[in-house]
Structure 1
Amino acid sequence: MTEMPTGPRTDRTDLATVTYVHGAGPATEASPLPAAPALGGTTETTDRAEVVESARRVLEGRVTPGPVDLEKVADLEVDLDAFDDRPLIPAWAKSAEGWAMYGGVLYRSRLRAYRRWVRRQRTDRGHAAQFKRGTRRVQDWVVGFEGVQTQALAHQAHIATKEARAAARAARYTPALMKKKKEVAVREADRTQTVAMQAVTAHKKAKQYRRNLRTLRAGAAYGPPLTAIGAGYLQAGWFGASAGALATFAGGAFAGRHVITEETDWSADWRSLGDGDPMTAPMLDQVFQHAKVIGNDETLHIVQMPMLDARGAWSAVVDLPPGIPAKKAMRSLTEVAGALGVEEAQVSLTKSKGKGARAGRLEIYVSKDLPFTEAADAGPLVALEAATNFWGRIAIGPDVRGLAISISVVERSGLIGGEPGAGKSASGNVILLAAALDPRVILWLADGKGGGDLEPFEPLCEYFEGDADPEAFYEMLKAAVADMKARYALLKKLGKRKVTEDLANKYPLLRQKLLWVDELMFYTTDDEFGKKITKLLRNLVSRGRAAGIITFCATQKPGSDVVDTSLRDLLSIRWALRCTTPEASDTILGKGAASAGYSAKTIEPEMRGAGLLWAEGSNPTLVRADYYTDDQVELLLKRAWDLRDAAGTLPEGPKSLADKLRDQGEDDAQVLAVLVDVFNAYDQEAKEENADAAVDWLPGTVLVDALKAAGLDITPEKLARLVVREDAEKKKRTWEDSASALNGYPLAAVLRTVQAKYGLTA
């Protein structure tokens, strides 16, 4: 439909002739009008104004048609069929003014269409929204649904691998004496290992299948746009690239042109941090309201606006409404994590410890992914070429923010606990290696597991108990208590209250000593020595700190039935690795820690070596211990051996009976030491020719000559008085090539004399 002007126009008079057919004109106006000049034919120039005015009246409907005499019309020789099927268009419409009028109509219609397009862009039907939907649909098509099957197979492989490890561990530690159980355990280990390998293979195939399909679909989806942009750039530069980008945009908008109801319903209700939305102040208000930490009409005061760090994690500092402490939010960690749409282990809520800290000020940190699941970096000790300083701070590992955490163990004692497989051995290596690389530290280690985790440290130990023998460990503790008393005696003599680094460097007796007990539960639950061991340990932990004795204990669940509370409460450093229940976590961190928001149960099984470390400050910190491979441990221990060898602090090996006799400082002991050496020399010479040979008797002349060669002037009579023989032992024997029998001394008589005079045995 075209639009025609309704108002009078007097500025134009050069209109073409209009032919008017009676009976087909507009409506009649009631007011009388002057008669219009006759229409039809061509007018002269002087009459053009009148013609124009007449045409305008006709168009405006102000002309009253006169009566029509049909008889006269019939008499006219007019052929009405001479007009073809074309519409009756005024001739002036084809003039310049007519074409301008049509152009104006087109312009106004296009302008309205443009305004409608602009208004539509702000809705879900705009081209930008269409392109966004299109790209999301294309990406969803590229990703596909194969990931569900792959994830299911990954879970199966994880479970099968875990069962295979448990079965292998059971087969390894089942005693060989229990043949049937050993065979059953070995068969079960083989079976579970086969199942695990099959599950892992299936998972790998599923991952490869998913990768191949995604690659093909990605090429089909993203190949044409990239090709169009690249080809356009090569052909026409940036103009061509822009044309290719515009074509890509058009294709994406075409793919998302239809709004699907299901696409908008799921996202219109509730969006969370886990859905990829940014952390904002309104979101935090809603999160804490849903977690029931604050009321529905209360809001948080933002101290530090939510920020995204380089690790992809969100952090913020907020003040809770007046009267609400930060501990209330920390106790609601599970609810806050659920409202954020992430795992509990990803959320860290701690009281602000910086300047201007308040009871209601809270630091919020939300990791992008589950922390501590990626491969651990090499520990700092690998790159350290010099010796460590056990008197200083010890690097433990990174926290959830990636910051290095270190502690001081001077005048401290520690407890490490967690479920089997949580990483206690790997976590303990952090402290043990730091102590081993300090050549001044004395190592006393006891392995209640008997599994060989501490065996690499044995050559560096002054005292080592690796057989899980409660009696041997009890003897170790008695020796440690005796050493503690000797240390305090020296401190009293020096007029000092406790051991310092300067004193330890000056007096070798006061060097730091690390007493490490692995699987304490095995020792303290022994029927015969359990209570005795607990008593000695409590004595060492309570009194040994000032004497330079540091005690660390590791066990699975240090409950009151395993570790007496009087001993457990004295261990000031607590490290709770993953636990199965909040109560088990509380036995390590202390009663009430789980209800305060610090529970090792929230640590996921994938977070090996991670635990809540309560060493310094008022709050435990989630830390993962630095991990050292077996090869790295071997390298570090070799370095520790070299450092101790250069410093002259390598532990002395077990002394021979002769050395023990020389340590007595008596003349008779020196004589007996030479006799023992002579017997050992002849015995070794005999074994070189015959491995089964043994020398248990030597002539008196041989012994007297050896004593004189050693610088000891002793006569046969004095030797006979020192080494008393029984009547049967005085019988003469032949010796080597001698023609007659000789008097001599049996080895049994010498050993009997040593034991009788000095209480020493071979």
Structure 2
Amino acid sequence: MSYSKSMGEVVHLPVRTSTAPADTSADTAADPLADAESAPALDAPAGAPDGAERIEDAAAAVVDIDTSFEVQLDPGADPDAEGEPVDDGIGYLLDDPEGDAYPVIPEHLRSLAGVGEAIARHARRMGHRIAFHTVRAPGYAVRAGVWSVVGLWRLIDRQLKWWWVSENDYLRSLAIAQGDSREWYKLHREVKETRRTRGTILAGQAVGVLAAGLVLVEVAPWWGWAAVAAVGVPWLAHLGRPEDRPIIVPATTVPRFRLLNHDVVLRAYYAAGLGHPEKPGQQVTFETTMSRTPQGEGSQVKVVLPHGTGFGDVVKAKDDLASGLDVAPSQVYLSHDPTSHRRHTLTVMDRDPLAVPAGKTPLLDCKPRNIWRPAPFGLDEHSRKVTVGLLWNSLLIGAQPRKGKTFAARLLALYAALDPAVRLSVVDGKNSPDWNKFALVAYHFIRGTVPNRAGDPVRQLIDALAEIKRHIIDTNDFLSTLPPEECPEGKLTEELCRRYPKRLFIWMLVVEEFQNYFELPDQDDNKQVAELLSFILAVGPSSGVILLSSSQKPSGVGAGDVQRLFNRYRDNHAVRFALRCGNRNVSDAILGGDAYSEGFDASALPVGKQYLGVGYLYGAADETPTVRTHLADHGDAEKILTAARTYRERAGTLTGYAAGEDTGTPDRDVLADVLAVFGADPGLHWTELADRLADQFPDRWADATPDAVSAQCRDLGVPSVNVKRAGVTVRGCRKNAVQAAADATATG
């Protein structure tokens, strides 16, 4: 993950999770749609372009997606480009260590889209001001007329005082008091001479004004009088109005913010019970002076608490501290000092930063993205850009319903969709319309838990997870066969993915409301899903499989092994994003047990429409920012996914569900396969039956477990009974029961 220290200056922070080494060569740094290595794909037919070449062809094309927008793929585009921010009017700093030079042309004005957005933003502001003042124009005219009369009188009064040399009265009075007649006569003569000169000037001025008035009366048209009034009345009104009563009121307000000093901070800490000003050893002190934040949007100071008081006490008293500072709790931020539990940095923002929207997602430029680069996610509390590295990571997103959980997960999935080399599997456990448009690009697209026209989603999910598991195993096996000079550390790299696009690629698995698949009516299905997801979470990220899980119920799911596997699956996500939660227990389930002690409680996030999409991003870096996610509504998602589908069609990577293909395991007749492996045995244990199916039909039953075979046979009418074999009696089935079920199916 990375932040922008100021608008546009990116600082890369160390990531907690382990990452595979990326190739730092010039080829690796290039865009994924740029020229790839010339080595052919292993599975490509002779003479046919491989996947990398098709991606190159897509990059060289101009794609007309619809009449509303056009996408131009630039082979030389910056791979780190994230699109122009939608609502950002500040120039960006250059990305250099000194940070003291601004670009000649601000970044947001370097494209037609950016220029258009800047013009539109200023036009909206100007339109508001014009409408505001137009409504109040009659009142302005009345006030201007009244104060212009006052201004005319003040002008005449000033002229008379200037002519009379009133400032000389004090000096003459002083000469009289001192009995200095000579000085008095001298001053008197100077005053008479000055009055004569100034009187002549004023007389000439009066004659000129009178002559101009007569000329206007005789020859000037109506617009001449209007021009004189337009110039003279505002000037006289400005001269006549009081200083504290403007004629034209401002159309916008100036944000109020509290100016902090050490006394205000001390008062707040003592009011919150974090020390006492008079008790020995209980005083709060400061390690630094009060200063502004680097972005100039707040104040900060490093506080030293009394002995016996720690950072946890400050976290608990945050609301009381905000009350003492006379600000909202969302304006107060506490940063723990790792060297001392008594020390922390207090930051108080001038205004509530979480109530300011981050704006539309930069993905709306519909340009292709590179999954090997961080995805734009939003802005933090200091308005710095927040990006999330998706590779080598698993992400858990949790929140109450309707707090922005699905929108946040969809942002990252949209980023992956814009890379045509990424395979995308979308599993929507709540069967909502939020993910429907991903059918345009998804390799797997599974909705709900109840069988529907598209089939049984539970069986589809198990088959899809089994396929991903096989891909992980195949990827690791293939990497182990590569020579050390080609794959020095035996890990996936961008260069290898471009060289062998049919064998090595990135796969994102999105599971919305994943807890629904741990609470299925059939416990065997629960176990299969739990085991497969746990395997993928443990092994998948190192093989290029990205897990994106979301849930509104991250605890209290299942029982026994299912509950254990659910908790393991939930707790082993490397990166967590928690939006508003119902209580602290739910927040801890999403963020982990250590988050609260570090000052992060998602149940304390502010509530309101303006705070939708606000949450804590934990585990992505050493810092935990409060993120305001970008927005991509349903229309935005459809536009982005339409572009993503076009890129995949051009690159030849549109496969699976989106291409109308059957992505499940090969069709199988369960009863026919079971009968085929029985042989002469009248009965088999479920374990023996599963082993025989896997040996004789590995293409269909390679990952079958005894529980899965039992569940599928019982669904088809085969009872599970005690079977005695080799002196051991365990559950299994009998051949005559399987035959009866097969006959009933054939006649039914």
Normalising to structure 2: TM-score of the pair? Answer: 0.51
What residue number does 2:301 align with?
Answer: 317
| Aligned twin of 1:377 | 359
Question: Residue in 2 aligned with 1:480?
Answer: 468
Amino acid at match of 2:589: T
Three-state SS of the structure 2 residue aligned to 1:406 is: strand
- Tell which has more relative contact order, 1 or 2 (C-alpha 8 A, sep 6+): 2
SS at 2:419 equivalent? coil
Identity of aligned residues (%): 23
1:517 aligns with 2:511: yes
Shift of 1:296: 2.1
Offset, 1:360:
4.6
Amino acid across the alignment from 2:495: D
Per the alignment, do residues 408 and 277 of structure 1 end up closer, same or farther by CA in structure 2, a change over 3 Å counting? closer
Q: What is the CA distance between 1:501 and its match in structure 2?
A: 1.4
The correspondence for 2:286, drawn from 301, 316, 324, is 301
What's 1:422 paired with? 403
1:584 corresponds, among 578, 586, 609, to 586
Alignment of structure 1 residues 347-366 onto 2, 5 Å:
347-351=332-336, 360-366=342-348
Residues 1:541 and 2:543 are matched in the alignment: no
Query: Counterpart in 2 of 1:505?
Result: 498
CA distance in 1, matches of 2:476, 2:568: 23
Q: 1:339 to 1:449 in 2, by over 3 A?
A: same
Q: Cα 1:609–1:592, aligned 2, differ >3 Å: closer, same or farther?
A: same
Of 572-581 and 234-243, more deviation after overlay is shown by 234-243
CA contact (8 A) 2:409 2:548 kept: no
Gaps of 5+ in 2: 1-131, 163-233, 247-254, 450-456, 484-488, 668-748
Match for residue 602 of structure 2 among 600, 603, 606: 600
In structure 2, the CA distance between the partners of 1:457 and 1:215, relative to structure 1 (3 Å rule), is same
CA change 1:227–1:633 in 2 (3 A) is farther
> Aligned partners of 2:364 and 2:152: how far apart in 1?
51
Pairs within 5 Å for 1:276-291: 277-291=258-272
Distance in 2, matches of 1:499 and 1:560, equals 36
Distance 2:499 2:575 in 1: 28
Matching residue of 1:470: 458
C-alpha separation between the residues in 1 aligned to 2:440 and 2:596? Answer: 41
The answer to whether the 8 Å contact 1:416/1:575 transfers is yes
Q: Which residue of 2 aligns with 1:556?
A: 552
- Asked if 2 retains the 8 angstrom alpha-carbon contact of 1:444 and 1:462, the reply is yes
Distance 1:278 1:250, change over 3 A: closer
> Which letter maps to 2:424?
L
Contact residue 400 and residue 579 of structure 2 kept, 8 A: yes
Q: Which moved more, 1:358-367 or 1:535-544?
A: 358-367
* Aligned pairs (5 A) from 1:179-328: 248=242, 277-297=258-278, 298-301=283-286, 303-307=288-292, 313-321=297-305, 323=307, 325-328=310-313
Report the Cα offset of residue 539 of structure 1: 0.5
Kept in 1: contact 2:272–2:320 (CA 8 A): yes
Matched residue SS, 2:549: strand
Q: Which amino acid aligns with 2:376?
A: A
Q: 1:623 aligns with which of 611, 624, 627?
A: 627
CA distance in 1, matches of 2:321, 2:259: 16
State how far apart, in whole Å, the 1-side matches of 2:142 and 2:536 are.
70
The aligned residue for residue 651 of structure 1 is 655
The alignment's TM-score, normalised by the length of structure 1, stands at 0.50
Amino acid at match of 1:522: N
**What is the CA deviation profile of residues 628-656 of structure 1, one whole-angstrom value per residue up to 9, with x for unaligned ones?**
13222222112212222232211153459
Q: Distance in 1 between matches of 2:142 and 2:311?
A: 50
RMSD over aligned Cα, in angstroms? 3.8
Are the counterparts in 2 of residues 225 and 248 from structure 1 also a CA contact under 8 Å? no
Give the match's secondary structure for 1:594: helix
Aligned match of 1:335 in 317, 320, 330? 320
Contact kept, 8 Å, 2:420 with 2:653, in 1: the verdict is yes
Q: Does the 8 A contact of 2:513 with 2:551 survive in 1?
A: yes
**Residues 277 and 418 of structure 1: is their aligned pair in 2 closer, same or farther, counting only changes over 3 Å?**
closer
**Is 1:635 paired with 2:639?**
yes
Query: Structure 1 residues 361 and 215, CA, compared in 2 at 3 Å: closer, same or farther?
Result: farther
- How many residues align structurally? 422
CA distance in 2, matches of 1:351, 1:225: 60
Say if 1:467 and 1:656 are closer, same or farther in 2 by CA, change over 3 A.
closer
Q: Secondary structure at the match of 2:242?
A: helix
Residues 1:591 and 1:656: Cα distance change in structure 2 (over 3 Å): closer
Q: Find the residue that maps to 1:552 and give its secondary structure.
A: strand
Match of 2:685 in 1: none
How far 1:424 sits from its partner (Å)?
Answer: 1.1
Partners of 1:611 and 1:419 lie apart in 2 by: 11
| 1:484 match: secondary structure | helix
Q: Which SS does the other structure have where 2:627 is aligned?
A: strand
Question: Cα distance 1:237–1:480, how it changes in 2: closer, same or farther (>3 A)?
Answer: farther
Q: Quick check: 1:574–1:589 contact (8 Å CA) kept in 2?
A: yes
Alignment partner, residue 477 of structure 2:
489
Separation (CA, whole Å) in 2 of partners of 1:456 and 1:498: 33
Contact kept? 2:400, 2:581, Cα under 8 Å: yes
- How far off is 1:446 after superposition? 0.4
Deviations 1:257-282 (A, max 9, x none): xxxxxxxxxxxxxxxxx995411111
Q: What letter is aligned with 1:649?
A: T
**Alignment CA distance shift 1:249-1:466 (3 Å):** closer
Q: Give the distance between the partners of 2:553 and 2:527, measured in 1 at CA.
A: 18
Any conservation in 2 of the 1:497–1:546 contact (CA below 8 Å)? no
Asked if the contact 2:284–2:303 (Cα under 8 Å) also holds between the matched residues in 1, the reply is no
| DSSP-derived class of the 1:477 partner | helix
Q: Is the 8 A contact 2:257 2:351 kept in 1?
A: no
- SS in structure 1 of the partner of residue 517 of structure 2: helix
1:397 alignment partner in structure 2: 378
Q: State the Cα deviation string for residues 544-571 of structure 1 (Å, max 9, x = none).
A: 1111111111010211426722111210
Normalized per residue, the structure richer in helix is 1
Question: CA-to-partner distance for each residue in 1:236-260, whole Å, 9 max, x for gaps?
Answer: 99999899778726999xxxxxxxx
CA-CA distance at 1:487 after TM superposition:
1.3
Displacement of 1:231 after TM fit? 5.8
Kindly provide the amino acid, as one letter, of the partner of residue 555 in structure 1: S
SS in 2 for 1:296: coil
CA distance in 2: counterparts of 1:513 and 1:232, whole angstroms = 81
How far did residue 373 of structure 1 move?
Answer: 3.1
Change (3 A) 1:281 1:649: same
Deviations 1:138-168 (A, max 9, x none): xxxxxxxxxxxxxxxxxxxxxxxxxxxxxxx
- Unaligned runs of at least 5 residues, structure 1: 1-210, 253-273, 662-762
CA distance in 2, matches of 1:351, 1:308: 16
One-letter identity of the residue aligned with 1:317: V
Q: Offset at 1:447?
A: 0.6
Task: Report 1:55-134 matches (<5 A).
Answer: none
Asked if 2 retains the 8 angstrom alpha-carbon contact of 1:332 and 1:597, the reply is no
